[in-house]
Amino acid sequence: MTRWIDAAFVRGGTSKGVFFRADDLPPLADDTGGDDPSAGRDRSAWDAIFTAVIGSPDPFGRQLDGMGGGISSLSKVMVVSASERPGVDLDYTFAQVEITEATVDYSGNCGNLSSGVVPFALLAGLVDAGDGWHVFRLFNTNTGKLVDVGLTVEGGQAAVDGDFTLPGVSGTGAPIELIYPYPAGSRTGALLPTGKASESIDADGIMFDATLIDATLPLVIVPAAAVGLNGDELPERIDADGPAMRVIGDLRRNAAVRMSLSETRETAPQVVPKVAVVTTPTPTRLLDGTTLAAEDADIVVRVISMGQAHRAVPGTAAMCLAAAALVPDTIVNLILTRSERPPAGPELRIGTPSGVVTAAAVRDESTGAVTAASLFRTARVLMRGQVAVPD
């Protein structure tokens, strides 16, 4: 037997995912209250639907029997609802579906797919707006944080056509601005969960310096050389580098414990912390075959997410790197202060395998608080209808 559930397939930034209205899914049981509408609830009914829809588990790693694409950025789900919170338009929950296992991780937010929430909500009738530029306020249940989304509405729907180029996405599109007010402590409660801008941490029996930071998402920032990489490799080469991936995986699990995201290495969540492998700007070969000049980026990064090197950069990771750039003595800040061309303002040009992504952050120098982080994305609803779920 097959059930059919209303859904849409949406590209948001450099990710794609299946979007549902919360009302079209089974209600979550065991409500414990609080600000997070999904906290303390049994998500097993959602998990069964999401893994079936995306096509997991798939031992072949391709998710051919579902809507997933065999890599972490294409194995995602969003659940959206009209918000009952004062001053908030929409609530949304992000679900990262494991590829080779029938598991779903709700431990973090997705900055790329966040750009698709309002376009989906407009199409689904969860919000409405007249033509022109509008800013919608969203509440992310994964992190308990607010996100402001600015975009142009045309004919009651999010504008698609525009001249904004997003590295990793072919063509151009209408810009969508994501602003995260006070993004620090998305999961850990603090910008620097251990109170240190840089610290020594063990990975695979090796001690080296890393920055553990949480702004829009928990992130471990480590120099590329420390994990045996140059930092300019293409994703496929990093994925195939067993020793480097072993060190990165061990680092991630140890950092999860140190950041109080888990009590043990074995129980570390899959989505967070992500690992950002960084290095100084260098001429970098990109996925489209072109070369990124050293002077076109402030820093070069490779982000490891769900055990794979990201083809571009997660939006939340880009904003976290921009925040780290403003905090004295972080790994990113030290690279920039030693650079011949340090950035002059709040924007950080991040060299990724798909090109340069620009993110920005603002820090209150008197308090040290990061008051906002932002970046631009594009999004497009690719399909709407019903998705098949085996009963």
What is the rounded distance in angstroms from the CA atom of residue 118 to the CA atom of residue 147?
A: 11
CB 350 within 8 A of CB 359: yes
pTM of the prediction? 0.92
**Which tokens in the block code for residue 56?**
């997991």
Tokens of 261: 């995201």
Residue 274 lies in a domain: yes
Dump strand ranges (E) for 15-119: 15-21, 76-82, 90-97, 104-105
Q: Which domain holds residue 215?
A: 199-366
Share of the chain above pLDDT 70, in %: 96
Integer Cα distance of 193 and 303 in angstroms? 20
Total Cβ atoms within 10 A of residue 229: 23
Measure CA of the first residue to CA of the last residue in the chain; give whole Å.
5
C-alpha span between 315 and 138 (Å, rounded): 16
The answer to whether residues 73 and 89 touch, using CB atoms and an 8 Å cutoff, is no
pLDDT score at 58: 97
Are residues 71 and 133 located together in one domain of the fold? yes
* 156 shares a domain with 34: yes
Average pLDDT on 208-212 reads 95
The band of 1, judged by pLDDT with boundaries at 50, 70 and 90, is confident
Query: What does the mean pLDDT of the chain come to?
Result: 94
Arithmetic mean of pLDDT, 299-305: 97
Do residue 224 and residue 144 come from a single domain? no
pLDDT grade for 39, boundaries at 50, 70 and 90: low
CA nearest to 223, candidates 276, 282, 259, 272: 276
- Give me the half-sphere count of Cα atoms (radius 13 Å) on the Cβ side of residue 71: 15
Contact between 36 and 18 under an 8 Å Cβ cutoff? The reply is: no
HSE, side-chain direction, 13 A CA sphere, residue 148: 13
pLDDT band at 342 (very low <50, low <70, confident <90, very high): confident
**DSSP letter, residue 260:** T
Structural domain total, the chain: 2
Please report the sign of the dihedral spanned by the C-alpha atoms of residue 72, residue 135, residue 323, residue 37. Answer: negative
Residue 229 in any domain: the answer is: yes
Same domain, 30 and 138: yes
Residues 56 and 68: beta-carbon distance below 8 Å: yes
* Whether 158 and 224 share a structural domain: no
- Mean pLDDT of the 372-384 span: 98
Q: Where does the pLDDT of residue 40 fall: very low under 50, low under 70, confident under 90, or very high at 90 and above?
A: low
Residue 38's pLDDT band (cuts 50, 70, 90): very low
- Judged against a pLDDT cut of 70, whether residue 31 lies above it is answered with no
Give pLDDT tens digits for 246-270. Answer: 999 999 999 999 999 999 999 999 8
Q: Residue 156 maps to which CATH number?
A: 3.10.310.10
Residue corresponding to tokens 């991936």: 245
Residues 178 and 230 occupy one common structural domain: no
Are 343 and 281 within one domain? yes
CA 224 to CA 277: how far, in whole Å?
A: 5
Are 36 and 151 in a shared domain?
yes
Pinpoint the alpha helices (H) of 24-67. Answer: 44-54
Span 222-247, average pLDDT? 96
Same domain, 36 and 139: yes
Q: Is the pLDDT of residue 30 over 60?
A: no
Which of 32, 35, 31 is CA-nearest to residue 88? 35
Residue 16 contacts by C-beta under 8 Å, 6 or more apart in sequence? Answer: 9, 10, 69, 73, 74, 76, 382
Residue 385 and residue 260 share a domain: no
Q: How far apart, in Å, are the Cα atoms of 282 and each of 96, 130, 353? A: 32, 46, 12
Mind listing the pLDDT tens digit for each residue in 64-108? 999 999 999 999 999 999 999 999 999 999 999 999 999 999 999
The verdict on residue 188 lying in a domain is no
Do 125 and 82 fall within a single domain?
Answer: yes
Short-list 43, 53, 44, 42, CA closest to 20: 53
Digit-coded pLDDT (tens) for 140-180: 999 999 999 999 999 999 999 999 999 999 999 999 999 99
- Based on its alpha-carbon atoms, the radius of gyration of the chain, rounded to whole angstroms, reads 20
Across the range 283-304, mean pLDDT stands at 96
- Tokens 């990093």 correspond to what residue? 238
Residue 189 inside a domain? The answer is no
- pLDDT for residue 33: 44
